[in-house]
């Protein structure tokens, strides 16, 4: 089968969407399919030709972005008034126009018109939503009398208009609805997200296809030993929906020794300042790591006595780190600010995992997930 994957990020970047695109492309190639990845972001100095040869796939660069590995577009204005004005401008631009959504999606559609050959299945990964809009524009421009042979799948990790993190103008509801009309299916990672998409697309077109991971490449540490409780968090912190400050405050009240490892993708100023403040109080009890490769991260997590998940206040997506946690086979305490119970956490510190989260990783096996997509053809 000829399969195309449209994605903004890919290996070697450390984003859940990059992992998903990479694992799908790699597994489909192993299964003998003809795979082409259309990639929007080029990492400076990275050898995509060598990666293509290693994976036995074709990578076609549609470089809307070029950046250093691990770089993030973070505004660094230090003047409080100018920072507020800039934030207001960016908020208004995002609310009214979703940034460069329309211009960039048109560029994507134009690139696809020039580069895309006949495919049996095309999977467009969102976020960003411009991937879906770009492919929808491409499909819309196809000759109407062309015999339809391609299955178009929109793979969405988070809603666009009904996002609980970003407010957008009302007309984006109709933009998103128009986009989904050009796809045969919409795949989402969890059934909890269905209400966010139900007003936009017929229910029969919504498919639940979770995150995918290659369990064959996982190497774990032996069962951890040692008397010092060691635990970890891996993922992203957000100032509003996933802020760790309440947990750090509790850790400062503990008199016993421990090691809390925090694994982050990059340095975000609003979170780095919080972590730096508490690292001064906790000293070597709080250890912060940045940009650790996923295979190494899984091994390091498996060295811990237990893992913690500070959950979203939203339920439209399952954090990919929870699946990583399940792969490590370590006990997991999951909570948010409202549900955090110091007595349960203290029980974990003393090896009582009665309240550990139950995680079944079998549905996330890459072989299972790739078959779910193939079954849609």
Write out pLDDT tens, residues 198-222: 999 999 999 999 988 888 888 999 9
Cβ neighbours, 10 Å, residue 352: 12
300 token code pair: 């390091």
Cβ neighbours for 99, distance < 8 A, ≥ 6 positions apart: 93
Name the average pLDDT for the chain.
Answer: 90
For the chain, list the domains and their CATH numbers. Answer: 2-213+365-374 (3.40.50.2000), 215-360 (3.40.50.2000)
Give the residue-averaged pLDDT of 178-195.
Answer: 94
pLDDT tier, 82 (very low <50, low <70, confident <90, very high otherwise): low
**pLDDT of the residue at 74:** 43
**Are the beta carbons of 376 and 370 closer than 8 angstroms?**
no
User: Which range is least confidently modeled, 122-126, 238-242, 282-286, 354-358?
Assistant: 238-242
Residue-level pLDDT at 111: 94
pLDDT band at 332 (very low <50, low <70, confident <90, very high): very high
Using the predicted structure, report yes or no on whether residue 313 has a pLDDT greater than 60. Answer: no
Mean pLDDT of 126-153: 91
User: pLDDT tier at 174 (50, 70, 90 boundaries)?
Assistant: very high
Q: What is the mean pLDDT of residues 127-156?
A: 92
241 band by pLDDT with thresholds 50, 70 and 90: low
Over residues 309-331, mean pLDDT: 78
Provide the edge-to-edge strand list for the sheet that holds 286-290. Answer: 286-290, 259-264, 230-235, 306-310, 332-335
Higher pLDDT: 78 or 306? It is 306
Tokens of 310: 């500070």
Token digits of residue 46 = 């990275």
The burial of 39, by beta-carbon neighbours within 10 Å (0-12 exposed, 13-18 middle, 19 or more buried), is given as buried
User: According to the model, what pLDDT value does residue 31 have?
Assistant: 97
User: Greater confidence, 146 or 293?
Assistant: 293
Alpha helices, DSSP H, located in the chain: 16-30, 48-55, 80-97, 101-115, 130-140, 171-180, 194-197, 245-251, 269-282, 294-302, 320-328, 342-349, 366-374
Reduced to 3 states (helix: H, G, I; strand: E, B; else coil), residue 53 is: helix
SS3 of the chain: helix, strand, coil, percent, to 5 = 40, 20, 40
Q: Say how many CA atoms lie within 13 Å of 158 toward its Cβ.
A: 15
Examine the pLDDT at 76 and tell me if it is beyond 60.
Answer: no
Q: What is the pTM of this model?
A: 0.82
38-42, 66-70, 113-117, 310-314: lowest mean pLDDT where? Answer: 310-314
Whether the CB-CB separation of 251 and 286 falls below 8 Å is answered with yes
- Judged against a pLDDT cut of 80, whether residue 283 lies above it is answered with yes
Number of CB atoms found within 10 A of residue 225's CB: 7
Percent of the chain with pLDDT over 90: 66
> In this model, does residue 78 exceed pLDDT 70?
no
- Nearest CA to 182 out of 157, 155, 146, 153 is that of 153
Predicted confidence band of residue 77 (pLDDT cuts 50, 70, 90): very low
SS3 state at 309: strand
Cα–Cα distance measured from residue 37 to residue 231, given in angstroms and rounded to the nearest whole number: 37
Given this model, what pLDDT does residue 72 score? Answer: 58
* Residue 220 C-alpha from the chain's centroid: 23
State both tokens at 91: 């908020």
Residue range 335-341: mean pLDDT, rounded: 92
**Any residues with CB less than 8 A from the CB of 324 and at least 6 apart, and which?**
213, 234, 294, 297, 298, 301
Confidence of residue 294 (pLDDT cuts 50, 70, 90): confident
- Give me the pLDDT at residue 360, please: 87
Lowest pLDDT segment from 48-57, 137-146, 341-350: 137-146
Q: Residue 35: its pLDDT value, please?
A: 98
- Cβ atoms of 48 and 37 within 8 Å: the answer is no
Nearest to 65 by CA among 35, 33, 100, 98: 100
3-state secondary structure 173-208: HHHHHHHHCCCCEEEECCHHHHHHHCCCCCHHHEEE
């Amino acid at each position: 089968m000829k399969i195309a994957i449209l994605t903004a990020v890919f290996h070697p970047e450390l984003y859940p969407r990059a992992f998903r695109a990479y694992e799908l492309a790699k597994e489909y190639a192993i299964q003998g399919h003809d795979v082409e990845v259309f990639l929007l972001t080029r990492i400076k100095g990275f050898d995509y030709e060598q990666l293509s040869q290693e994976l036995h796939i074709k990578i076609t660069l549609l470089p809307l972005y070029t950046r250093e590995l691990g770089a993030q577009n973070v505004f660094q204005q230090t003047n409080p008034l100018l920072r507020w004005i800039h934030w207001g401008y960016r908020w208004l631009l995002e609310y009214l126009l979703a940034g460069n959504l329309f211009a960039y999606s048109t560029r994507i559609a134009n690139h696809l018109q020039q580069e895309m050959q006949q495919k049996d299945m095309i999977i467009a990964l969102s976020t960003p939503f411009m991937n879906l809009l770009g492919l929808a524009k491409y499909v819309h421009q196809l000759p109407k009398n062309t015999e339809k042979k391609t299955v178009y799948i929109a793979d969405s990790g988070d809603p666009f208009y009904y996002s609980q993190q970003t407010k957008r103008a009302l007309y984006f509801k109709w933009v998103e609805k128009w986009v989904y009309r050009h796809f045969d299916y919409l795949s989402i990672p969890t059934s909890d997200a269905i209400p966010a998409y139900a007003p936009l697309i017929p229910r029969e077109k919504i498919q639940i296809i979770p995150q995918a991971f290659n369990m064959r490449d996982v190497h774990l540490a032996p069962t951890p030993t040692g008397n010092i409780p060691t635990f970890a968090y891996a993922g992203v912190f957000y100032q509003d929906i996933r802020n760790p400050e309440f947990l750090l405050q509790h850790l400062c009240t503990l008199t016993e020794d421990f090691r809390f490892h925090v694994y982050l993708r990059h340095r975000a100023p609003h979170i780095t300042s919080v972590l730096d403040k508490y690292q001064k109080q906790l000293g070597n009890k709080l250890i912060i790591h940045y940009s650790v490769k996923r295979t190494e991260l899984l091994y390091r997590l498996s060295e811990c006595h237990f893992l913690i998940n500070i959950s979203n206040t939203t339920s439209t997506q399952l954090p990919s780190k929870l699946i990583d946690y399940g792969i490590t086979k370590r006990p997991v305490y999951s909570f948010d600010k409202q549900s955090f119970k110091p007595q349960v956490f203290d029980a974990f510190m003393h090896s009582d995992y009665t309240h550990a989260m139950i995680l079944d990783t079998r549905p996330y096996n890459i072989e299972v997930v790739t078959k779910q997509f193939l079954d849609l053809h």
